[in-house]
Amino acid sequence: MERNPIVQMKNVTKKIGPKTIIDDLTLDIYRGEVFGFLGPNGAGKTTTIRLMAGLIELTDGDILINGHSIQKNFEKAIAHVGGIIENPEMYKFMSGYDNLVHYARMFPEKISQERIDEVVRLVGMEKRIHEKVKSYSLGMRQRLGLAQALLHSPSLLILDEPTNGLDPAGIREVRNYLRNIAHEQNIAVFVSSHLLSEIQLMCDRVGIIQNGKLISVESVSNLVENREYVAVRIETEPVQKTYELLKQSYPDKKVTITDQAIQMEAKREDLPDINKLLVTNGIAVYEIMSNKGTLEEKFLEMTGGNIDV
């Protein structure tokens, strides 16, 4: 992955009247990565996306896309951007292919038939591209929207809720296509979504915004693995004796019995001591399994328990 950022947000601020919507946001996004953008409702996600896409003006700071300032050289900057900010709108009476041809004519630089065929392949629509859009499922229309956004070979692809309304199979398809597009085309994919489990599977890094401020930018693996406490499931015999011993030995920890197993939260480094305690007291230990946690759990920790993203 190239370490020259394709997007540089520098002290980005957006105010509406006296209210600060985005507060001094600084962030770099790189080619070849899928970057997830998370935050509670009203945190500033949509405003940030609209600023990146040039749909609203900055109050202060700047956004550089492929080295071009949105403030000073808007046309050159925005020429590197593709995206689906709302649901993709197509002419339903036309075929998917004819929609792409029609859209390609809008660009000042000629888009070749070879490029149209390439993006059709990228989104896996070779078999259905010549059918009318009105026959497409929502997932197919999302894929056609992706093809449209990729036509002019952008360096940055911005997607707001790309899996909204899709069934599990459609969600998985879009997730796989986005990862392939980022890596095959070596572009930056910026995704905002409320499906935290999907962001965890799809993205390389995530940024979390709250009250207009960027509070964290980390790799997904670091966020879900570097947790002080982990959820632990312990299978033993006898279970009741295990429960009483752990409650007595760890009075500050929540210990429960679920499905004939013990559930508790502990530091990872405590696990050998827990095992030793149980064995020493004549308890048969069949399994101690720790859960490294999920992006959802980390998000809740960092935003004070607000899951409404």
CB neighbour list of residue 87: distance below 8 Å, 6 or more residues apart: 141, 145, 164
Using CB atoms within 10 Å of the CB of residue 71, give its burial: 0 to 12 exposed, 13 to 18 middle, 19+ buried: middle
Domains (range + CATH), the chain: 5-224 (3.40.50.300), 228-291 (3.30.70.1650)
The number of residues making up the chain comes to 309
Check if the beta carbon of residue 24 is closer than 8 Å to that of residue 293: no
User: What's the CA dihedral at 190, 192, 195, 196 to 10 degrees?
Assistant: 70
Residue with tokens 């559930």: 263
Give me the pLDDT at residue 293, please: 62
Q: Is 193 helix (H, G, I), strand (E, B) or coil?
A: coil
Using CB atoms within 10 Å of the CB of residue 252, give its burial: 0 to 12 exposed, 13 to 18 middle, 19+ buried: exposed
Residue with tokens 């601020």: 13
Calculate the alpha carbon distances from 94 to 90, 91, 123, 132, 173 in Å: 8, 6, 19, 5, 24
Is this structure's pTM higher than 0.85? no
CA 214, 215, 217, 220 dihedral sign is: negative
Q: What are phi and psi of 131, to 5 degrees?
A: -90, 155
Give me the pLDDT at residue 221, please: 76
Calculate the alpha carbon distances from 110 to 95, 106, 113, 120, 179 in Å: 21, 9, 10, 17, 27
Residue 92: both structure tokens together: 């339903």
Edge-to-edge strands, sheet with 188-192? 81-84, 156-160, 188-192, 34-38, 205-210, 213-219
Give me the pLDDT at residue 2, please: 46
User: Quick one: pLDDT band at residue 233, thresholds 50, 70, 90?
Assistant: confident
Check if the beta carbon of residue 51 is closer than 8 Å to that of residue 58: yes
Question: How many helices and strands, by DSSP H and E, does the chain display?
Answer: 11, 14
Q: How does pLDDT run across 255-290, given as a tens digit for each residue?
A: 888 778 888 888 778 888 999 999 999 999 998 887
Check residues 4 and 88 and name the one with the higher pLDDT: 4
The amino acid occupying position 114 is: E
Q: How does pLDDT run across 188-208, given as a tens digit for each residue?
A: 999 988 778 888 888 999 999
pLDDT at residue 1 tops 50: no
Q: How far apart are CA 175 and CA 152, in angstroms?
A: 21
Q: How does pLDDT run across 51-68, given as a tens digit for each residue?
A: 998 889 999 999 999 999
Least confident window among 180-184, 282-286, 297-301: 297-301
Least confident window among 177-186, 237-246, 289-298: 289-298
